[in-house]
Structure 1
Amino acid sequence: MEVSRGSGLVLPTVFVPPPSATPQSLFPASIGRNAHPHVTRFIRVDDPKSFLICTDGACLGNGQVEPKAGWTSVFGPLEQNTNASVNERLEHQGPLGDFGNPTNNRAELRAIIGALRYRNWASEGFTTLVLATDSEYVVKGATE
């Protein structure tokens, strides 16, 4: 996939679930019918065109000499899919050629980029991706 800067056509918003809801109750593991072969995704119970991707990044030695970082994005139940996640060690060079030391924030951002670039999610019939992250840095950076 060619690397390019964003178009500005997609404006992320914060997803606010009902107070008593759990990810499993809102996005149960379901068969995605538009993917070939059919795969299990975390599809929204009241909107089959919306699904959940869980992301995370971590850095050992964050802010110290020779840190090591990695990231992951999970698209479906790992026990049911061989194509349910992607994970990598964080690169020292960003997607546009800029250099940076591994940090926790870079790993968290890379997990989101990895999730968005992994597949053409629209080809599976999805119009909305809900990206779950524990990173306030990522949420604020994307939505404010």
Structure 2
Amino acid sequence: MTTFDLRAWTEEMTAHERVRAVVELLDEPTTVEEVAERADVSCEEVDSELGRLQNEALVRFEEVDGEPHVRPDVSNLFREDIERLVDNHDRGELESELQAMLGEREELRDVYDVDSASDLPDDKQEMQNVASTWEALEADIRLYQYALRRYED
């Protein structure tokens, strides 16, 4: 199992990148303080970055128990990711990456003898890690498929 390396997280990613990474992974409204803690960034830096992301319509704020919480605007983030892929990769690169991901997903199906991540038993840490990897692959596969459709348009 891979262990999380906080030093690499803070050395290899800027505060801006860490805040965005945390926000993109949120699955429920979260306070600025929680984002700051997860990103290892000051609340002031988080406020600044969230303001920028809000201006770009990539996050939304909502009140939860009278306190402001942030959540990602998943559809706009997805569109931005597609644009980034199309801008930074040619069609061949996207097709090659997509084929590699499809192959990896097929290997997971064969190794664990299941059709999807939701079919994996959830009682073991290894299975949870595999399920998370599988779900990330599914998300990336969809992203690359949409990016390739942009070339067809």
What TM-score results when the alignment is normalised by the length of structure 1?
0.25
Higher helix share: 2
Higher relative contact order (CA 8 A, sep 6+): 1
Task: Answer with 1 or 2: which has the greater Rg.
Answer: 2
TM-score by length of 2: 0.24
